[in-house]
Amino acid sequence: MQEVTIIGSGVMGRGIAYTAAISGHKVILNDISPESLGNAEKEITNLLVKSNEKGFITEKQYDAATTNLSYEINFENAVKDADLVIEAVLERMDIKVEVFTKLDRICKKETIFATNTSTMSPTEIGAQTSRPDKVVAMHFFNPVHKMKLIEVIRGLETSDETVLYIEEISRQMNKETVEVNEFPGFVTSRMNCLIGNEAMNMLMEGVASAADIDKAMKLGLNHPMGPLELADLVGLDTRLRNMEYLYQTLGEKYRPCPLLVKYVKAGRLGKKSGSGFYDYK
Ligand SMILES: NC(=O)c1ccc[n+]([C@@H]2O[C@H](COP(=O)([O-])OP(=O)(O)OC[C@H]3O[C@@H](n4cnc5c(N)ncnc54)[C@H](O)[C@@H]3O)[C@@H](O)[C@H]2O)c1
């Protein structure tokens, strides 16, 4: 059993905490926002009860998860004994660097640091610590308990031991991994952000309605979800940050669609705010 701490209890942090807990690990979820941590506790508790009732998890997994999962607002208490820390805070390099600098000061020397960034550089993050060999990106997908893949991204100094450790703990979480050498957006976000942005451009140009763009991609190209419903699920603020980073690092073809920028300005952030390309109220 490993002690796994997750920093950030938003869309992804909650899913990672749930998945790590039903895999038999001791899990601590941390956030700077008491409100987010409280909401995460409610959502995870509901998911555990429902998954148990429906037989998606065993009674043993349910008991282990409810015993071994805790919520801790104090950063130092949350991380001081961790074997693995998985960071899932906002997609902003300045915030991530601040978190990793603190982690490096407080955690044990052996603790492995993973970032759930969708696009950014584990090399840049690792360079802010005294242990770049123990820093890696561990990219989960949304919703974490359903999606099978973890993309493991090796920074310049990431050691083989760190990659093996992450691959093993991913297997324990019943996930498959792909190993990727660092480049902005890795494999999945680089591809997916482009498709999503093009769908938004088409909507803005009046090519088709949101529902028809999504339907065309699902029924015509066999995508399990349409690109606009997927963007709503991810969160449009998070997607915009991904696009801005990719635009800055990979150039013009990643210029964020103006409609996406406008929606974020209006507070239409997708499913989590009640409306985005679709209405969820
Ligand atoms: N949403 C997705 O579908 C998705 C998928 C894969 C990866 N990601 C990546 O996961 C990360 C988190 O995304 P999200 O969608 O969960 O974001 P989110 O906005 O839902 O949650 C972020 C959380 O981080 C907390 N936070 C901010 N600063 C903090 C700090 N200093 N210490 C502790 N907590 C802090 C916030 O209070 C918030 O609860 C991002 O890097 C994102 O790119 C997102």
Report the separation in Å between the CA atom of 238 and the middle of ligand 1, taken as the mean of its atom positions. 8
Distances (CA, A) of 151 to 14, 97, 139, 182, 247: 18, 21, 5, 11, 21
Average pLDDT of the segment spanning 46-60: 96
Range 188-272 classified under CATH 1.10.1040.10: yes
Answer yes or no: is the C-beta of 216 below 6 A from any ligand 1 atom: no
Strand order in the sheet with 149-154: 69-71, 26-30, 3-7, 84-87, 112-115, 135-139, 149-154, 176-181
Q: In the prediction, which pLDDT does 51 show?
A: 97
Q: In the prediction, which pLDDT does 78 show?
A: 98
Report the separation in Å between the CA atom of 10 and the middle of ligand 1, taken as the mean of its atom positions. 5
Report the separation in Å between the CA atom of 116 and the middle of ligand 1, taken as the mean of its atom positions. 8
Report the separation in Å between the CA atom of 82 and the middle of ligand 1, taken as the mean of its atom positions. 20
Average pLDDT value over all residues in the chain: 97
Q: In the prediction, which pLDDT does 241 show?
A: 97
Answer yes or no: is the C-beta of 7 below 6 A from any ligand 1 atom: yes
Model's pTM, two decimal places?
0.94
96-119: pLDDT as tens digits = 999 999 999 999 999 999 999 999
Helix (H) / strand (E) element for 20: namely helix 11-22
Q: In the prediction, which pLDDT does 123 show?
A: 97
- Domain residue spans in the chain? 3-181, 188-272
Answer yes or no: is the C-beta of 173 below 6 A from any ligand 1 atom: no
Range 3-181 classified under CATH 3.40.50.300: no
Q: What is the atom index within ligand 1 of the atom nearest the CA of 95?
A: 31
Report the separation in Å between the CA atom of 34 and the middle of ligand 1, taken as the mean of its atom positions. 14
